[in-house]
Structure 1
Amino acid sequence: MSAQPVPHAVPPIALITGGSRGIGRATALLLAERGVDVILTYLSAEREAQAVVGEVEARGRRAVALQLDVGRSGSFEAFAAAVRGELRRTWDREAFDFLVHNAGIGGYTPISQTTEALFDELVAVHFKGPFFLTQKLLPLLADGGRIVNMSTGLARFVSPGFSVYGAVKGAIEVLTRALAVELGPRRIAVNVVAPGGIATDFGGGVMRDPELQKAVAAETPLGRLGEPEDVAGAVAMLLAPESRWINGQRIEVTGGYRL
């Protein structure tokens, strides 16, 4: 069963996981500026999420925030029901248009020190979660819609301590191509964005370290660390009408780090 496309006059709706801060927040605000309404999720930062809702509304768009733990796939059916309810209550619609898998956690340890618990958590949040959340939300995603997954530059280059994180993001890149093929009959384009070092609080704010920032900038042709808005721009580009023929692609947003 698939949702039917909505009239073009109706503003599109994007569902962004992990939208309370960082890249998710920047994406929500940029999309709002471009006429897109937003459903964003948060894990525990409800106050921050509601602040983003207010910022979206200040840009003339509608938004709601819903709690979601992407590492608990058993909660996805109830979450999908909550999304369906908000679509009807807030928009009088049965479907949304864009799904952006942004939520994630950091987990940086050498292979010799990686515990099974950390391994399982990273797989659950970064691979199993997006896989089964997509599955549960497909009936609510409009035909002709878009999905953007989030990978990492670490799926291309390697740094010590990022083995599991890089590997599960590599799995997301393969899943992106599989989804692009399987959802083709519904005209749903699926792509993946791979950021490099971004100045956010992700992973305990590791990229806030001035010395690490200098080291990353030194290996980046554009000479600086990335900002959340840099990644948001790439996501918004993939959701724009002009990008309708881009499908199954990996877009790296690293400023050319380690080319």
Structure 2
Amino acid sequence: MISNRLAGKVAVVTGASRGIGKGIALRLAAEGALVAVHYGMRRDAAEETVSMIEAAVGKAFAIGANLDTLDGVGLFLEGLDEELILRLGSNQFDILVNNAGIGTSSPLEETTEEEFDKLIAVNVKAPFFLVQQSLGRVRNGGRIIHISSGVTRIAFPHIMAYNLTKGALNTFTLHLAQLLGPRGITVNAVMPGIVDTDINASWLHTPEGRKNAEEMSALGRVGEPSDIADIVAFVASPDGRWVTGQMLDATGGSHL
């Protein structure tokens, strides 16, 4: 265990079966939190994440649901309620990390209405309604953390529709922080740059692609899931109590 800063806390991490979400789940569990590991389709991967947490003497459970519709959000929360009440006698939790999202490789000219609607549904609609439906479940003094993207600061026009969804998350973060401030709930967005995950595998696992990605960062390397997870752990912890309504750049100084 890294520390006990989150001992007694319950954290919900969406899209936690792999990549950045998995890194966040592992890190929050290492801090002592009971972690709900959400997955959309990859139950096996989510259960592997849970097994890794338990092997490190942490606490976690997996819960699956497609979050791209309001019905899906409702089913997820019903399942979460059942699991938490069974384990703890209450459906309250302390930390919500909206990490689940999808990307695109389509430029503006080739983006279809179907793809646009899917991006909005998963990257914007799902976090919005998950927060809306969780307001009575998140304890006062809790944390809401959105995983946004460095493309909201850096011009990356060849994935325009994706960029718009992350910009929406940043706007949501700002206004939600003001709304929930009286309850002591902080709301922040973490904006990763290029991270070595499955979604970037085809690009980063070629020598030329990796070199280009490394050269974008002032620190001369590609990000790791743990780089993002450590920032999330900070704002989720008591140490982050005075940080809210912020978009935290986690790009390693890309395109400074």
TM-score category of the 2 structures, normalised to the smaller one: over 0.9
Of 88, 91, 109 in structure 1, the residue corresponding to residue 88 of structure 2 is: 91
2:226 counterpart SS class: helix
- Post-superposition CA distance 1:197-247 (Å, at most 9, x none): 001012675444432221121121100010111011111111111110100
Residue 135, structure 1, aligned to residue 132, structure 2: yes
Residue 41, structure 1, aligned to residue 6, structure 2: no
Which is further off, 37-46 or 76-85?
Answer: 76-85
Residue 147, structure 1, aligned to residue 144, structure 2: yes
Residue 194, structure 1, aligned to residue 191, structure 2: yes
Whether the aligned pair in 2 keeps the contact of 1:201 and 1:208 (CA below 8 Å) is no
Aligned-pair CA distance for 1:93: 2.6
Residue 73, structure 1, aligned to residue 70, structure 2: yes
Whether the aligned pair in 2 keeps the contact of 1:197 and 1:207 (CA below 8 Å) is no
Amino acid at match of 2:34: D
Q: TM-score, normalised by structure 1?
A: 0.93
Corresponding residue number in structure 2 for 1:172? 169
Residue 184, structure 1, aligned to residue 188, structure 2: no
- Separation (CA, whole Å) in 1 of partners of 2:7 and 2:155: 44
Assess, with a 3 A threshold, how the Cα gap between structure 1 residues 45 and 93 changes in structure 2: closer, same or farther.
same
Amino acid at match of 1:135: Q
Assess, with a 3 A threshold, how the Cα gap between structure 1 residues 195 and 9 changes in structure 2: closer, same or farther.
closer
Corresponding residue number in structure 2 for 1:120? 117
Amino acid at match of 1:131: F
Assess, with a 3 A threshold, how the Cα gap between structure 1 residues 12 and 205 changes in structure 2: closer, same or farther.
farther
Can you give the 5+ residue segments of structure 1 that lack an aligned partner in the other structure? 1-7
Whether the aligned pair in 1 keeps the contact of 2:16 and 2:46 (CA below 8 Å) is yes
- Separation (CA, whole Å) in 2 of partners of 1:202 and 1:72: 23
Corresponding residue number in structure 1 for 2:209? 212
Alignment RMSD: 1.6
1:41-60 alignment, distance < 5 Å? 41-60=38-57
Amino acid at match of 1:142: R
- Separation (CA, whole Å) in 2 of partners of 1:66 and 1:18: 10
Assess, with a 3 A threshold, how the Cα gap between structure 1 residues 134 and 157 changes in structure 2: closer, same or farther.
same
Amino acid at match of 1:210: P
1:232 counterpart SS class: helix
- Post-superposition CA distance 1:182-204 (Å, at most 9, x none): 11121110000000000101267
Which runs of 4 or more aligned residues in structure 1 lie more than 4 Å from their structure 2 counterparts after TM superposition?
Answer: none
Can you give the 5+ residue segments of structure 2 that lack an aligned partner in the other structure? none
Which is further off, 195-204 or 243-252?
Answer: 195-204
Q: How many residues align?
A: 252
Identity of aligned residues (%): 39
- Separation (CA, whole Å) in 2 of partners of 1:185 and 1:229: 31
Amino acid at match of 1:137: S
